[in-house]
């Protein structure tokens, strides 16, 4: 296979790094070369966090170049917009509907953009956009802390990632503390099923 480039964008505390790690371990389970990196930002609560996962037969560098993302997973809508430089018309954008207004918006007394405005900006790069009801699905799974895993499930369901569903679940079980495994496995399934039921 050729390589697959994934960019994950969110804010600290959303589990962006764990999501990237789950995809990376799943790729290893499936025998792919993989590079996972935190591109920039601070993993502190509220700070911007961007990670990349590159998978394929012969992936050397961990960095995704601008315009080269196959999948952009947005954990927060404004962070998704900030990382559109990695997108092109071929990119699939999977975005959470969870809004975490950055401090500069309230400091400047600016309103948070509407979903329609955000999607319009994304459409300037790609028409392949799917918004995921992460909060509702995470609540259904049993914990709001599983919103990141809901997004992972949704991302896998599209079939654009070169990892098997079973391998991602196995990676999840390896990385998540034992007492939280079943709730996270349910969140993954809900995210996965959300795509097959709405696409």
| Each residue's pLDDT tens digit, 21-37 | 999 999 999 999 999 98
- Measure the CA angle with vertex 65, ends 60 and 67; round to 5°: 140
Average pLDDT of the residues in 151-159: 97
| Each residue's pLDDT tens digit, 72-125 | 999 999 999 999 999 999 999 999 999 998 877 778 888 999 999 999 999 999
Position 167 pLDDT exceeds 70: yes
Domain count, the chain: 1
Position 1 pLDDT exceeds 60: no
Question: What pLDDT, on a 0 to 100 scale, did the predictor assign at position 88?
Answer: 97
Q: What is the distance between the terminal CA atoms of the chain, rounded to a whole angstrom?
A: 26
Neighbours of 152 (CB within 10 A): 30
pLDDT band at 43 (very low <50, low <70, confident <90, very high): very low
Q: Any idea what the CATH number is for the domain that residue 116 is in?
A: 3.40.920.10
Cα 122 versus chain centre, distance: 15
- pLDDT above 90 as % of the chain: 78
| Structural domain range at position 75 | 4-198
Residue with the bigger pLDDT between 43 and 114: it is: 114
Give 65's DSSP letter.
P
């Amino acid at each position: 296979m050729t390589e697959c480039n994934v960019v994950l964008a969110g804010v600290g505390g959303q589990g962006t790094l764990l999501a990237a790690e789950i995809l990376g371990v799943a790729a290893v389970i499936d025998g792919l070369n993989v590079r996972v990196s935190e591109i920039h930002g601070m993993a502190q609560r509220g700070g911007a966090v961007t990670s990349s996962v590159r998978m394929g037969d012969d992936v050397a560098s961990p960095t995704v170049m601008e315009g080269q993302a196959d999948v952009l997973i947005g954990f927060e809508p404004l962070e998704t917009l900030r990382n559109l430089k990695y997108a092109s018309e071929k990119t699939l954008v999977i975005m959470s509907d969870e809004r975490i207004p950055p401090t500069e918006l309230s400091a400047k007394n600016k309103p948070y953009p509407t979903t329609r405005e955000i999607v319009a900006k994304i459409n300037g790069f790609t028409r392949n956009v799917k918004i995921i009801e992460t909060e509702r699905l995470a609540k259904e799974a049993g914990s709001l802390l599983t919103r990141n895993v809901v997004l992972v499930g949704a991302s896998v369901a599209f079939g654009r990632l070169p990892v098997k569903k079973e391998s991602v679940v196995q990676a999840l079980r390896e990385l998540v503390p034992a007492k939280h495994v079943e709730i996270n496995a349910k969140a993954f399934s809900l995210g996965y099923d959300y795509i097959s039921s709405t696409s």
